[in-house]
């Protein structure tokens, strides 16, 4: 069992707050993703769990034991970095084997464990090669195998796909997803890529400026963002957000009038996702504006209009044809709308 608890964890450097009062219990065998932009505190949080950064305040508990004062080597965690960190003078076999040697594991078991780990990441044909002879994706798989061979209680992965091209990211992401299912080990994964978070995680922790913004399953985070930051960060494209006034169930701003909303009043930010809206016949939609841009996506056409300072996107059929400047009408039903306080940024619950 490797349940991890972070209890009121803080990290400060002088007056700068890197992580602010982080509280979370990570269940045994859970795949948790720390998600947020650069500088939000996600990597610092992982490094504190690993023991590579000291905790300023609070406690980190692994498997029922407070580990604040334990060295990294004594925490039974294995870390995979974005930089691979392979030994260039060793071949793949020896790179994978290295953790077993330094930890004094019985040499009689090394070959079986190395080959089992290499098979999991499909490296059997490359064990004799040096890192310089491998592609980026193959080097990242060596780093994964080197973590697997240790059979740790916890995997920590710090943006392991960030150095790979788009095609390799997809295939390696699938491999990590399959490995997490096969190994059933508690995993904490750091990324700024919300697609990685949505596809890999059991739960996602969204962070900004050292503060946890929302914790939930990918579906919960996507369907009910807790605030404007989460709404704007999750989704491709991000949620459409329009500032306006809400009174007696009617939201109004330039080119926009949506009725039938059940809650809230005053200055309100209304959100909806591009795939939930649709094009309407002229004059029958809740938003009417000239086309700002069109993007052909293959399976759909993304249309954007400008409402005040906001770009608002809607997905149309791939066969849709129009020109920039043409007037379009967008159908936005109350059921697809999310409401946020413009002042506080917090979600206004239905």
Give me the mean pLDDT over the 271-277 stretch.
Answer: 96
Cα 273 versus chain centre, distance: 18
What is the share, in percent, of the chain residues with pLDDT greater than 90? Answer: 71
**Better-scored residue on pLDDT, 277 or 171:** 277
CB 89 within 8 A of CB 133: no
Strand, helix or coil for residue 343: coil
Distance from the first to the final alpha carbon of the chain: 39
Q: Tell me which H or E stretch contains 168.
A: helix 166-183
Q: What's the rounded Cα separation, in Å, for the pair 304 and 326? A: 11
Q: What percent of the chain has pLDDT over 70?
A: 99
Structural element, H or E, at residue 169: helix 166-183
- Taking residues 135-153, what's their average pLDDT? 87
How do residues 10-55 score in pLDDT, each as one tens digit? 999 999 999 999 999 999 999 999 999 999 999 999 999 999 999 9
Residue 338 has pLDDT above 90, yes or no: yes
Query: What local confidence, expressed as pLDDT, does residue 350 receive?
Result: 61
State the Cα–Cα distance between residues 30 and 33, nearest whole angstrom: 10
pLDDT tens for each residue of 262-273: 877 899 999 999
For residue range 93-141, what is the model confidence (pLDDT) as tens digits?
999 999 999 888 899 999 999 999 998 888 999 999 999 999 888 888 8
Once rounded to an integer, what is the mean pLDDT over residues 180-184?
85
Looking at residue 342, its pLDDT comes to 95
List, in order of start, the domains of the chain with CATH numbers.
Answer: 4-228 (3.40.50.300), 238-341 (2.40.50.140)
Secondary structure letter of residue 14 according to DSSP: T
Tokens (6 digits) for 194 = 């919300």
pLDDT band at 1 (very low <50, low <70, confident <90, very high): low
- Whether 168 has a pLDDT exceeding 90, the answer reads no
Distance CA 341, CA 119 (A): 52
The per-residue pLDDT of the chain, averaged, comes to: 92
Task: Output the six-digit token pair for 8.
Answer: 């009121």
pLDDT, mean of residues 267-286: 92
Q: Give the DSSP per-residue string, 100-162.
A: HHHTT--GGGHHHHHHHHHHHTT-GGGTTS-GGGS-HHHHHHHHHHHHHTT--SEEEEESTTT
CA distance linking residue 139 with residue 92, whole number of Å: 9
- Residue reference for tokens 């020896």: 94
Return the pLDDT at 150.
87
Q: Is the pLDDT of residue 283 over 80?
A: no
Q: Cα 258–259–265 angle (5° rounding)?
A: 90
pLDDT at 164 over 80: no
State how far the alpha carbon of 308 is from the alpha carbons of 119, 225, 232, 240, 323, in Å.
Answer: 55, 23, 17, 12, 21
- State pLDDT tens for residues 232-250: 999 888 999 999 999 999 9
Asked if the model's pLDDT at residue 210 lies above 80, the reply is: yes
**Sequential DSSP letters for 63-110:** TTEE-TTS-GGGTTEEEE-TT----TTS-HHHHHHHHHHHTT--GGGH
């Amino acid at each position: 069992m490797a349940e991890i608890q972070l209890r009121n964890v803080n990290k400060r450097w002088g007056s700068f707050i890197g992580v602010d009062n982080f509280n979370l219990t990570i269940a045994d065998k859970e795949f948790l993703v720390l998600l947020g932009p650069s500088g939000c505190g996600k990597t610092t949080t992982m490094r504190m769990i690993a023991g590579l950064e000291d905790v300023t305040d609070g406690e980190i508990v692994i498997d029922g034991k407070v580990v604040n004062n334990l060295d990294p080597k004594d925490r039974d965690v294995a870390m995979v970095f974005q930089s691979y960190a392979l030994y260039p003078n060793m071949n793949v076999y020896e790179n994978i084997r290295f953790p077993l040697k330094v930890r004094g594991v019985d040499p009689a078991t090394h070959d079986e464990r190395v080959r089992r780990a290499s098979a999991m990441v499909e490296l059997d044909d490359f064990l004799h090669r040096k890192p310089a002879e491998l592609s980026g994706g193959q080097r990242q798989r060596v780093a994964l195998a080197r973590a697997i061979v240790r059979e740790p209680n916890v995997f920590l992965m710090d943006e392991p796909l960030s150095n790979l091209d788009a095609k390799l990211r997809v295939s390696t992401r699938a491999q990590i997803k399959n490995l997490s299912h096969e190994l059933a080990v508690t995993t904490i994964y750091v990324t700024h890529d919300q697609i990685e978070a949505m596809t890999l995680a059991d739960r996602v922790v969204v962070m900004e400026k050292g503060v946890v913004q929302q914790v939930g399953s990918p579906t919960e985070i996507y369907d009910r963002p807790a605030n404007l930051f989460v709404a704007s960060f999750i989704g491709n494209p991000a949620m459409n957000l329009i500032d306006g006034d809400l009174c007696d169930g009617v939201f109004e701003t330039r080119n926009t009038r949506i009725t039938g909303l059940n809650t809230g009043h005053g200055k309100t930010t209304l959100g909806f996702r591009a795939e939930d809206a649709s094009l309407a016949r002229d004059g029958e939609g809740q938003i009417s504006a000239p086309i700002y841009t069109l993007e052909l996506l293959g399976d759909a056409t993304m249309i954007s209009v400008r409402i005040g300072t906001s770009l608002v996107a809607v997905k149309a059929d791939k066969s849709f044809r129009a020109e920039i400047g043409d007037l379009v009408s967008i159908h936005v039903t109350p059921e697809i709308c999310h409401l946020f306080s413009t002042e506080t940024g917090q979600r206004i619950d239905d």
